[in-house]
Amino acid sequence: MDTGFDWKKWRAQLIVIVLAAGVAWAIVGSGEGQEIESPPSPEAAFDMLNFLDEKVGVQEDQKDVRCWSSFNKLQMFITNCEIDEGAKAARISEHMRLIQALYESSAPQAGDEGYINADAVKAALEDRFPQGNEVEEKGVHLGGRFPTLVGVEELRDYSDTIEPWRLLQTWASRQLDAQGTWRLERQFDESALGALYDFFRLYDLAMLRRARDHAFDRKLTKIDAEAITAAFQPAFNH
């Protein structure tokens, strides 16, 4: 009796299904034991302010000279002179102005990634401050024929503070808008910040010594704001 069922056609379809299942199983089986490699994550961009925050925090934990009052006492010890409140405020203000000037001088040398490196910073520093090095002392030219010298022991004592990092941190934090977004086009990279740290560790002491001499020349017994401003002036006369 003819049921109308086409056995030949059904058998052909069944063969196709079986073959397809076999191929699929072979493909799945060939991947057993193999890990799928994901693309490497892009390297996180260097964040200047985070780096400075970490530097200040770590050094506060490690160093003995931490608080502002201790730093003020150290300044008076190093200069052997009292520093009045106006001078303290002027010092911070002038440091911010100098860091900004160094930024503006070195920013055109930034790479494609938008970072200013140590070479650009050192070129800007050498342009403003011809630096002389001696065996036991270092100096910065702050006007006059000879550099203002800073002793090794003074540098060592000053290195026990976080002040150079804090100056850079203060400047960087002032470059953020109300939403906490970096307003400038460029940032200093880690090598540039290291070069700036080394410089300000020396410069701050030389500047204070120069300010002391300026105050004494005017027959004062302590450093005032005018003396600080005068000590910074050669940095802006290049």
DSSP H helices, 107-235, are 118-128, 152-159, 163-173, 190-217, 225-232
pLDDT band at 40; cut points 50, 70, 90: very low
29 assigned to some structural domain: no
**Amino acid code (one letter) for 93:** S
Supply the range of the domain harboring residue 112: 48-236
Q: Which residues contact 103 (CB under 8 A, 6 or more apart)?
A: 116, 184, 186, 188
Residue 14 has pLDDT above 60, yes or no: no
Give a yes or no: residue 176 inside a domain.
yes
Mean pLDDT in residue range 135-142: 62
Q: Is the pLDDT of residue 72 over 50?
A: yes
Contact 69, 165 (CB under 8 A): no
pLDDT of res. 26: 53
More confident: 119 or 61: 119
**The whole model's pTM is what?**
0.75
With respect to residue 82, please indicate whether it lies within any of the assigned structural domains: yes
Mean pLDDT of 12-21: 52
The answer to whether residue 101 is domain-embedded is yes
220 half-sphere exposure, CB direction, 13 A CA radius: 18
- For position 227, what pLDDT does the model report? 97
- Is 226 inside any structural domain? yes
Which of 10-24, 79-93, 179-193, 209-223 is predicted with the least confidence, judged by mean pLDDT?
Answer: 10-24
Encode pLDDT of 210-221 as tens digits.
999 999 999 999
- pLDDT, mean of residues 105-132: 85
The per-residue pLDDT for 78 is 78
Note whether residue 16 is domain-resident. no
7 belongs to a structural domain: no
Give the tens place of pLDDT for each residue, 142-174.
666 667 777 777 788 787 788 899 999 999 999
| pLDDT, position 157 | 79
pLDDT top residue among 78 and 190: 190
Q: Give the number of domains in the chain.
A: 1
Residue 32 lies in a domain: no
